[in-house]
Chain A
């Protein structure tokens, strides 16, 4: 089993749709979780951290389920500008545990 797995995608959705991405991780000791977005031929950029209680930033909601070892990202009212690849990122428990990037899920928002 890969350390971090994501929905394979691609996701093609119309403007205004709600879309959800899921990510599972294998290390139950993982402590930190993030969602990044990466535009074509650009660097990954932090979208949001994922907290145990769940968190929301405008149209974006991230949730963590430690028991099932998955995190999710919900995008409401999709915009054309949301088209990108979304990367799930998981940190280990200790200072030197490596950061694991998921393979990413591609989203295309269609007019």
Chain B
């Protein structure tokens, strides 16, 4: 399995609080991604990174920010959590985005915003 660790694995918090999820990889891959997965919506890209300090928005980036200060770590922050951000969050990595380089996923973080 790809060396990807997400933390925490589970979190319950209250509306309005800040939340930071961490993704750590040991593969030295350039590309890292944050997705959320909700029933009826499938996987949706929140933000991605194509290198240290290089990030870009995905299709559902509102309410989220990211940072990548080291190759191995990609942080996802909910500045002020809302109940609509209750979801399962997956981090993924890929060596590149050229042909036939797939993404590999972490175990996920289950986040509940009450």
Contact = CB atoms under 8 A, between A and B. Distances in A.
A40 to B, nearest CB: 11
A51 B99 CA distance: 10
Interface string B89-102: 01000001111111
A51 B53 CA distance: 34
Given A96-B50, A98-B58, A44 B43 contact: yes
A45 interface: yes
Contacts, number: 51
A51 B50 CA distance: 25
Contacts of B105: 43-45
Given A91-B97, A97-B97, A102 B42 contact: yes
A contact patch SS: loop
A101 B98 CA distance: 17
Nearest to B107: A43
Interface residues of B, number: 22
Contacts of B50: 95-96
B42 A95 contact: no
B100 A32 contact: yes
B100 A101 contact: no
Interface in B45-91: 45, 50, 56, 58-59, 90
Interface in A83-98: 87, 89, 91, 94-98
A32 B98 CA distance: 8
Interface string A48-72: 0101000000000000000000000
B107 A95 contact: no
Interface of B: 33, 42-43, 45, 50, 56, 58-59, 90, 96-108
Closest 8 CB pairs between A and B?
Answer: A43-B105, A101-B43, A103-B42, A95-B97, A46-B102, A32-B99, A31-B99, A49-B100
Given A43-B106, A99-B45, A103-B42, 5 more contacts: A32-B100, A32-B101, A45-B105, A46-B102, A87-B42
12 contacts: A32-B98, A32-B100, A34-B102, A42-B107, A43-B107, A49-B100, A49-B102, A51-B100, A87-B42, A89-B102, A95-B50, A103-B42
